[in-house]
Chain A
């Protein structure tokens, strides 16, 4: 009886689990797709979908090899020791099917090379057969890479900002003309201003000071709004609540003009100030709600102990507000890290990650494989912060869910 009720419960909740798991799959599939794609070679990305790594390409030329060669060389190509077809140094001598044809025309041990089955009489047909055979022997000997082999080259290319037609590592090995002009093939390439490596540093340079300044200024102002008395406190704070929704695009032109006139267009200072200005209304709102909810008694007893407002701020408010500061910090950090528009307009000479990704886009659409690596490089830190500090992120969201 008990078992039946358990089974019954299981079947009743089955649709719930199915619906939820299905939705989670739908939600995560696009990201998984990009992740898988980021490890695939350029050719693979261009010719097949990311899911095909789970169903490897059929190896071509098996039928032809079996028909013409397997009877003597064996299925693995190793039967004849002096003509080992799994030896890359031997197979590597024949890179074209007509070379193979020429070799097959020569006699072996005083008789024709092909004994049992003869090649088609027409030249182009026999070359077709041989190119299939060649492909298979190259596979046997390990000269050609397996179709679904994964690579880090997209990440490497994105990091150094490679824009050629092959990939960075191969170019460096062969040290072609292009690689000599742009890259030294040393560690310093990671700092190439066109690459994601340099952009990573730029993003840090934008994000960290901004986050710090927003927290500092917001804590000051929030303390005043919560525990100090001054005229206009209420309407000023109401105005602040309203300010949170001012769209950022609205201020781009006036600020760009202002920056141009005082000469800080394109500087880190300019973008710090802009982000701080836009982060503050929400930041003050969040901090004030938290600091305002601290118990009155602790301020009263501090006051009786002779503490002034500065002491109360540094010794009481800041330590107690740490959870709120963590929430705000993560929120602000992610927001600035992921910003594209502001950085594009005010800091295009030092591209941040998001801007650099768009710089890497090839107008002919020939380098999607690099963009996959670039995108995931830009996700690394936000994803880490998100999954490790999710609690604080959610808390920040709940504390002031007015801002978009």
Chain B
């Protein structure tokens, strides 16, 4: 790290840090510790979770809430869905973002095109939910379809689909909304990385007879790899804690439950279980946290 040069007393740095540290202590550190404690308590958060065991059924003692988190049917569905989101959405958004960035770079209306893709980032999830309602809605009792997608399907002679309440289809429909929201984020960051790839390097490899395809895979991709890693890890975190889209569009019903939504539902009714889910969620993120800190250290070392 850079050597310091300011003349200062021993107290001065702490005065600058005090407001931020105090607030973060109260609003991040304390709740995190409290959450861990509560995750071993019952639904009211007053006595140990071991008391919620039912005779004759499996019991994990004070880890009872974690038994719920890892083995209950509700949670197995949520875990499965979170895994599905991770496997499909992370590559989906990153590839879509990269694709846009690559295409937009080659045209004169780059700015407008990128603004359009990026725009969903500026609006709320609630707003996005209402926007997509008019794409997915279904009119089941005769009458004209007012949802765009079903109107198209019916126009070409198909049967309208209940996008939000047909299980498995609804998960994919929600992921489409997710890609719509997040692809702009990936595009923006990857586009900046692409602009940093020196043109001479690309020219040189073309002169050496490499095809565009080879240039892309052998030159461009390795050069933007660090950024690809950043975007991917960020998306993994976003998807792990995916909540808003599901909450707004299906409320986790019809088989679309995810961990964060389950956790939110349980906050009032069963604090212990809810907090166990919170701890589960953060433990899933710890590997990413370590990757981030390590990358930060490397950056600092290079300064």
B-contacting residues of A (Cβ < 8 Å)? 13, 16-17, 19-20, 23-24, 27-31, 33-34, 37, 45-52, 216-218, 220-221, 223-230, 233-234, 238, 241-247, 249-255, 258, 273-274, 276-278, 280-281, 284, 292, 296, 299-300, 303, 308-309, 312-313, 334, 337-341, 353-354, 357-358, 368, 371-372, 375, 378-379, 382-383, 385-387, 390, 393-394, 397-398, 401-404
Asked if B161 CB lies within 8 Å of chain A CBs, one says no
- Could you write out 10 A-B pairs with CB less than 8 Å apart? A16-B107, A221-B21, A226-B2, A227-B6, A230-B10, A245-B285, A253-B34, A308-B6, A340-B126, A353-B124
Closest Cβ–Cβ distance, residue A132 to chain B (whole Å): 20
Which residues from chain B contact A313 at a C-beta distance below 8 Å?
A: 16
Asked if B55 CB lies within 8 Å of chain A CBs, one says no
- Give me the 3 closest cross-chain CB pairs, A-B, nearest first: A277-B27, A251-B31, A386-B122
> In the complex, are the beta carbons of B134 and A338 less than 8 A apart?
no
> In the complex, are the beta carbons of A246 and B148 less than 8 A apart?
no
Asked if B211 CB lies within 8 Å of chain A CBs, one says no
Asked if B204 CB lies within 8 Å of chain A CBs, one says no
Which residues from chain A contact B189 at a C-beta distance below 8 Å?
A: 397-398, 401
A-contacting residues of B (Cβ < 8 Å)? 1-2, 4-8, 10, 12-14, 16-17, 19-21, 23-24, 26-28, 30-32, 34-35, 38, 45, 100, 103-104, 106-107, 112-113, 115-127, 130-135, 143-148, 151, 180, 185, 188-189, 192, 230-231, 233-234, 237-238, 241, 243-244, 260, 263-264, 267, 271, 274-275, 278, 281-282, 285, 288-290, 292-293, 296-297
Which residues from chain A contact B185 at a C-beta distance below 8 Å?
A: 397
Which residues from chain A contact B289 at a C-beta distance below 8 Å?
A: 242, 245
> In the complex, are the beta carbons of A242 and B23 less than 8 A apart?
no
> In the complex, are the beta carbons of B113 and A378 less than 8 A apart?
no
Which residues from chain B contact A17 at a C-beta distance below 8 Å?
A: 107
Give the most central of B23, B32, B100, B271: most A CB within 10 Å.
Answer: B23
B103's partner among A19, A52, A258, A280 (CB-CB below 8 A) is A19
> In the complex, are the beta carbons of A281 and B8 less than 8 A apart?
no
How far is A401 from B267 in the complex, measured between Cα atoms in Å?
30
Which chain A residue lies CB-closest to B117? A27
Closest Cβ–Cβ distance, residue A148 to chain B (whole Å): 14
How far is A30 from B1 in the complex, measured between Cα atoms in Å?
48
> In the complex, are the beta carbons of B292 and A402 less than 8 A apart?
yes
How far is A351 from B238 in the complex, measured between Cα atoms in Å?
26
How far is A397 from B100 in the complex, measured between Cα atoms in Å?
17
Closest Cβ–Cβ distance, residue B207 to chain A (whole Å): 20
How far is A226 from B26 in the complex, measured between Cα atoms in Å?
24
Which chain A residue lies CB-closest to B4? A229
> In the complex, are the beta carbons of A368 and B133 less than 8 A apart?
yes
A371's partner among B7, B130, B275 (CB-CB below 8 A) is B130
